[in-house]
Amino acid sequence: MISRYYLKCPGCAEVFDARLGVEPTRGTRFYLPCPHCGLSIRGSMSGTELENHRIAIECEVLSDSAPESPDRRVVTINPFVPSRYDADTFTPMGSFPTMTLLQALGDHALAEFQSERHSALEAGRDQWPTVRMLFQYYLQGNTAMFVRIAQQQLGLAWEPSTSHERTTVAYQAMGAVTTVITGTTGTTSANVFGRFSRKHFAAMKRHKDHLATLGVEDSPRRLWNEMSSPSSTVS
Ligand SMILES: [Zn+2]
């Protein structure tokens, strides 16, 4: 969404329009250059819902719903996607952030990108803090807390009592959440998993009991499939 502000530069005292891309955010800082003198003017926005969304710009705001005027200079800023500072409604590429993305990604990829971005933000907010905690306890060797987090917060139905079991649970949880965060349209998650699987299978070759605890002697591929499907471990 684009909001239009009528602003006065605190430096050169000229007035101008700012077209500002607005999105739900817990806190985003930005700056906009005065289109007359280039002075950087700082601003911030926060609020995840429409009712609590706030925008602050560190200069005199003459109006926060300025009607378009062809005589006024315009600056376009979007803290979330690339945009052209000097774009106005009449220079399409870079003037509407969504259009910029659409042109850059193409119709199909844009929808995919937006849905992945949504899932990634959600996973980062809801799942990552728990998985981070789990992995922290794993690294510290705090077995009691590791088991408690795995069972109470990740819904693990059994107790990982050996070090191999805890390693598996820790990496499965990490793998599941990072897959959601990195998404599938790029090559990142394939790289992450490729690297992980090489280490994991090397460990399996060295330690036969590692395979036994996983119950995947017959099919290491099954574990791989389970790990690649986020819903199977973290819900
Ligand atoms: Zn200025």
What is the model's pLDDT at position 95? 54
CA of 21 to the centre of ligand 1 (A): 21
CA of 92 relative to ligand 1 center, distance in Å:
25
Q: State the Cα–Cα distance between residues 208 and 116, nearest whole angstrom.
A: 38
Helices (H), the chain: 97-105, 107-126, 128-140, 143-152, 163-182, 188-206, 208-214, 220-228
CB–CB of 95/81 below 8 Å?
no
Q: How far is the CA of 193 from the centre of ligand 1 (A)?
A: 50
Output the pLDDT for position 150: 94
- Nearest Cα neighbor of 31 from 62, 65, 63, 7 is 7
Is residue 175 packed enough to be buried (19+ CB in 10 Å), middle (13-18) or exposed (0-12)?
Answer: buried
How many Å lie between the centroid of ligand 1 and the Cα of residue 188? 42
Angle between the N-to-C axes of helices 188-206 and 163-182, in degrees from 0 to 180, rounded to the nearest 10 = 170
Ligand 1 mean position, distance from CA 15 (Å): 8
Task: Tell the residue number behind the tokens 């959440």, with chain if given.
Answer: 177
| Residues linked to residue 42 through DSSP beta bridges, in sequence order | 31
Provide φ and ψ at 164, rounded to 5°: -65, -40
Cα(206) to ligand 1 centroid in Å equals: 67
Q: Are strands 54-57 and 40-47 parallel, antiparallel or unpaired?
A: antiparallel
Closest C-alpha to 192, from 171, 206, 210: 171
User: Which residues in the chain show pLDDT less than 70?
Assistant: 66, 81-107, 184-193, 196, 200-201, 203-235
Measured in angstroms, how far is the CA atom of residue 40 from the centroid of ligand 1? 8
Tokens describing residue 121: 């933000």
Question: Interface pTM (ipTM) of the complex?
Answer: 0.98
The interaxial angle of helices 97-105 and 107-126, nearest 10 deg, is 110
What spacing in Å lies between the alpha carbon of 45 and ligand 1's midpoint?
22
Cα(175) to centroid(ligand 1), Å: 49
CA of 19 to the centre of ligand 1 (A): 16
**15 Cβ partners below 8 Å, 6+ apart?**
6, 7, 8, 9, 62, 72
Q: How many whole angstroms from 7 Cα to the centroid of ligand 1? A: 10
As a whole number of angstroms, the distance between CA 54 and CA 50 comes to 9
pLDDT tens digits for range 111-154 = 777 777 788 888 888 888 899 999 999 988 999 999 999 999 99
